[in-house]
Amino acid sequence: MGFSLMSVIIPTLNAEKRIRKALDSLTEQTFQNYEVVIADGGSTDKTQEIALEYGCKFVKVPKTRPHDVSTAKNVGVDASEGDAIFLLDADMYLDPNAFEVIDEKYDDPAVVGVALKVLPSDSTRFETLSYEFNNVMAYIGNAVGIQELSYFSCHSYRTEAFKEVGGFRTDLLACEDLDISLRARYLGKYVVTHQAVLWTDPRRLREWSNTGYATRYLKYLKDYYLTDKVNEHYDDLT
């Protein structure tokens, strides 16, 4: 067994319309040794009620700025008890074999992080192709040791490794997932696998438009790589 308990950390803000699908996908996992920690930024809807219905831990996290997910994730990890963590957004859900695949990867004690294939749910052909291109780049980049070739969020980490690198940087307003994956890889192996899929809602892509989405993230990446800062935040989706 690669880990004894998976802690799923879900940052939320008024997520009542989408969180059930995420939580249902956890109840359907073939590997059932997990807990769920909801790190909530001040929901005024039924997010807490739903979370408690599913037996989740619910932690309130005061927001210090728009889209303050780094702080929420760090607080969620601090409240967790597992020896592995999975960062999951409220509008995402997992294939039933996801934790089983991750557990298999952690059988290798040198592995400190695992990233699944990411695809958009209820998507157009172009949206799917866009994600598939990024999946291929992530797989190739990991194989040759250049994680910078792709950017996805919501990975799994050994809890010890996550804490050793200091968790998410709260000074970054974007690219926090990329940053921690780049730091964690120096502690051991980082695995990108296509054996299970993490399904994500493409509404951010649709809100910004395809070209707008690409332009914005290229700017974030430029700022991150050239200045080690991302000062432009984006608003939470609800």
CB atoms within 10 A of CB 238: 14
Query: Residue 39: is its pLDDT beyond 70?
Result: yes
Compute the distance between CA of residue 35 and CA of residue 26 in angstroms, rounded to an integer: 9
Average pLDDT over residues 199-208: 74
Q: Which residue has the higher pLDDT, 30 or 154?
A: 30
Residue 125 has pLDDT above 80, yes or no: yes
Residue 72 to residue 165: CA distance in whole angstroms: 17
Q: What is the pLDDT of residues 161-180, one digit of tens each?
A: 999 999 999 988 888 888 99
Tell me, what's the pLDDT at 151? Answer: 62
pLDDT of residue 50: 98
pLDDT of residue 213: 67
pTM of the model: 0.91
- For domain 6-227, the question of CATH label 3.90.550.10 is answered with yes
Split at pLDDT 50, 70, 90, the class of 67 is low
What pLDDT does 20 receive? 97
* 149 or 104, which is more confident: 104
- Do 57 and 10 contact (CB within 8 A), yes or no? no
* Per-residue pLDDT at 63: 75
Q: Say what the pLDDT of residue 95 is.
A: 98
Domain boundaries, the chain: 6-227
Phi-psi region of 228 (alpha: psi -120 to 50; beta: other; left: phi over 0): left
Q: Amino acid identity, residue 106?
A: Y
Q: What tens digit of pLDDT does each residue of 219-232 get?
A: 888 888 889 988 87
Position 134 scores a pLDDT of: 83
